[in-house]
Structures are given as C-alpha cells and as structure tokens.
Structure 1
Amino acid sequence: MDDKQLAEELRLTIGGLVRTVRAADTMPPGESAVLGYLDRGGPLTTAEIAQQRGVTHQSAAKTVKDLLARNFVRAEAHPGDGRKFLLHLTQAGRDRLADERRRRADWLGAAINTVLDADERRTLEAALPLLSRLSTHLHGT
C-alpha cells in the first residue's frame, strides 16, 4: 500500500470510528464541542467558539444560549471589550462533560475488550503515539 492509499484508509477508518462514537453521545454535538473547547482552552467568546467550530455566529450563539440556560456555562464581561462576554465552564458543565467522556470511554473500552484479543490491544496501544504525532503535526500546519 502506498502512502496515499494508507492515508485514505486511515482517514476513512478514523472518520468512521469518530462518527460511530459521536452517534452514541447523549449530548447534542454542538454542546459537547463547546464544553470541550472551554474545558481544554479556558474562557472564550461566542465568536471564538464559532470560529473554532467552523459555524456561523448565530449557530454558536444558539448553542451558548442553551448551555447558559442549563447552567453548563456562565458569561462574564470581557475585560478588554465591554461589548463581548467571556464564557466559562461551570462545575455543572464540567461534570456533564466528564460524564459524557466517561460514558464514551466505557462504551469504546467495552468494544475493544470484546472485539480485540490481547495482541491486537497491544498493537492498538502501540499505535496511539503515532496517531498523536500525526495529529500534532497536522494541527500545526
């Protein structure tokens, strides 16, 4: 298999895995994405969230409004621009995100345990640093 074929197979396989895991989520994709961004990167504006998600400001604002109503995020005045608000993850949002991540990991872990034998699990574990390096490289380009 040449590099282009390998790349396409990797893209299809990882894409399929990600879509399958996300389909089992109990949270709407936009909500889990916003909570994840705030968890990983700290406070953000709605415009920054929209840019990171690649959605319109209106779409991000609707998601943020829903998260505010459920007390998963809180807004405070932006220190450098009074027209903007910084969104912060609340403890309730952090707990909800942790529950979703734990549920995903449990579900995927059960599948790994059911489908893969010990040698295959070790192979998968050995591939993780390689996938991480690829991801880091692609994220930086």
Structure 2
Amino acid sequence: MAAELRALVGKLKRRLREQADVGDLTPSQVSVLLRLEKEGPATTSSLARAEGMRPQSMATVVAALNSAGLVIGAPDPNDGRRILLSLTDACRQWVQEGRAARQDWLSRSLLAQLSTDEMDVLAKAAGLLNRLVED
C-alpha cells in the first residue's frame, strides 16, 4: 500500500504541476520562491543553508530569479551590509495564478469523475492522509 500511495501522490503532483506553467524554472528556483513566499525575506546564505546548497550555488539561483524579475533585494534594516531577498509583486501574482489554475483543474476533475459517494470516501481518505503528514 505504501508503494502504491507514493506512486499515486507522485502522479498527482505531476498532473498538478502541468496545470500551472513554471516556464523554464529549475526545481531549485521553484523551491527558493516557495520558501521566500512561506517564510518571508531571507539572505542568500540563509537560503543556501535551508536548501542544503553551497552559497555560491544559491547565488547563481538567486541571480537567475532576480534577472527574471521574480525576486528583489533590499538592505537588511538591522544590518545594512546584508541583502534581504523577497518576492516581487509580479512573482506573488504569478504564484497565486498558478495555484488557482491547479485548484481549478483539481476541482473540475473531481466533479467530472467522481460521484457524491466517492467524494465522501475521498474526503475521509484526505483526513487520514492529513494525519500521516501532521507532526
């Protein structure tokens, strides 16, 4: 069951990813954007530690995101020598639109392919899956 569930979740993730265009972003770039969205502004070195990367590698990721207009740097108000990176407004909108596209696809798929009884079963299964991932 564990193998089947892992494979199924992987397929679902791929299908959801297909619904929102991430363009030419690498998995590392997407991960950095999601981290900045969730945790707020951060330095390149703190992002490198959090992502398990060398600072030089993270600097390359950040430079690409900056060039794409997805992140912007500003001096840290507590230490002007450090630069805090954050998402641009355009990036926040892009992330929000991507989430909406994935949500819309999943909602339409559920309604089109599952009966009311099956939706109830799926809701119960979602509750059980949530228990597995709760800390």
What is aligned with 2:11?
Answer: 16
What is aligned with 1:3?
Answer: none
Correspondent of 2:110 among 92, 112, 115: 112
5+ residue gaps, structure 2, are none
- Normalized per residue, the structure richer in strand is 2
What is aligned with 2:20?
Answer: 25
- Tell me, what secondary structure is at the counterpart of 1:43? coil
Task: Map 1:90-105 onto structure 2 (within 5 A).
Answer: 90-105=88-103
What is the CA RMSD across the aligned residues, in angstroms?
Answer: 2.5
- 1:134 correspondence with 2:129: no
Question: For structure 1, which segment, 56-65 or 98-107, has the greater mean C-alpha deviation from structure 2 after superposition?
Answer: 56-65
Which structure has more relative contact order (CA 8 Å, sep 6+)? It is: 2
What letter is aligned with 2:45?
A
CA distance in 2, matches of 1:19, 1:54: 24
- Which string of whole-angstrom CA distances, capped at 9 and with x for unpartnered residues, describes residues 42-96 of structure 1? 1122233344444554443333222222332211234566664221122211111
Q: How many residues align?
A: 132
CA distance in 2, matches of 1:110, 1:9: 24
Question: For structure 1, which segment, 42-51 or 78-87, has the greater mean C-alpha deviation from structure 2 after superposition?
Answer: 78-87
Question: For structure 1, which segment, 8-17 or 81-90, has the greater mean C-alpha deviation from structure 2 after superposition?
Answer: 81-90
5+ residue gaps, structure 1, are 1-5
CA distance in 2, matches of 1:53, 1:15: 21
TM-score scaled to structure 2, two decimals? Answer: 0.77
Q: Return closer, same or farther for 1:120/1:67 CA change in 2, 3 Å cut-off.
A: same
